[in-house]
């Protein structure tokens, strides 16, 4: 992005007086919109060694299954957590969780047909799932690190995005 392009952009959640404002989507077209976000959490080798039959079992239950439920709940509650997000009725919220080395890769894909996108819902879902993995594994070690959360892709709005 050039400096000129950067200077022509405005923050979408500020009104003309620079006060916080929800984006007015009333003039937008209803389209199918999707977004995929990823969170990566680094576990210790001791925790990874607990991985059996596609999940990590703890006294609190199956880690990945619980993370999927928590992430779905978080995605559905995004507008309660992020002040200027529109409340959205998701059509779908799906997770893919896998271990690569000591890293747990959590992908959350949200879909809906609406006037606004679902990036924040996908990001929230992935983040809450990562926090749930942390919570459920901290009894083994506090040397856990949520390394990154990022948007991987979005479709259906004014412009598509792919990382």
Active site residues: 135
Distance CA(24)–CA(13), nearest Å, equals 9
| Closest C-alpha among 11, 6, 158, 10 to residue 84 | 11
Q: Residue by residue, what is the 3-state secondary structure of 88-144?
A: CCCCEEEEEEEEECCEEEEEEEEEEEECCCCHHHHHHHHHHHHHHHHHHHCCCCCCC
Q: How far apart are CA 157 and CA 35, in angstroms?
A: 10
Six token digits for residue 22:
């929800």
Phi, psi of 79, deg, nearest 5: -65, -20
Q: Could you give the angle at the alpha carbon of 92 between the alpha carbons of 31 and 120, nearest 5°?
A: 75
Question: Nearest CA to 34 among 97, 116, 130?
Answer: 116
């Amino acid at each position: 992005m050039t400096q000129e392009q950067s200077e022509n952009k405005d923050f979408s959640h500020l009104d003309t007086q620079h006060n916080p404002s929800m984006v007015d989507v009333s003039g937008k077209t209803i389209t199918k919109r999707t977004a995929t976000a990823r969170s990566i959490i680094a576990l210790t080798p001791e925790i990874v060694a607990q991985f059996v039959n596609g999940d990590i079992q703890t006294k609190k239950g199956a880690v990945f299954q619980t993370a999927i439920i928590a992430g779905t709940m978080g995605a559905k509650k995004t507008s309660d957590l992020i002040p200027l997000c529109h409340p959205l009725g998701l059509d779908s919220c799906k997770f893919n969780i896998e271990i690569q080395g000591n890293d747990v890769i959590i992908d959350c894909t949200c879909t809906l047909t609406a006037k606004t996108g679902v990036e924040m819902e996908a990001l929230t879902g992935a983040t809450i799932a990562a926090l749930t993995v942390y919570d459920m594994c901290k009894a083994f070690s506090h040397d856990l690190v949520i390394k990154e959360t990022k948007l991987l892709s979005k479709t259906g709005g004014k412009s598509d995005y792919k990382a």
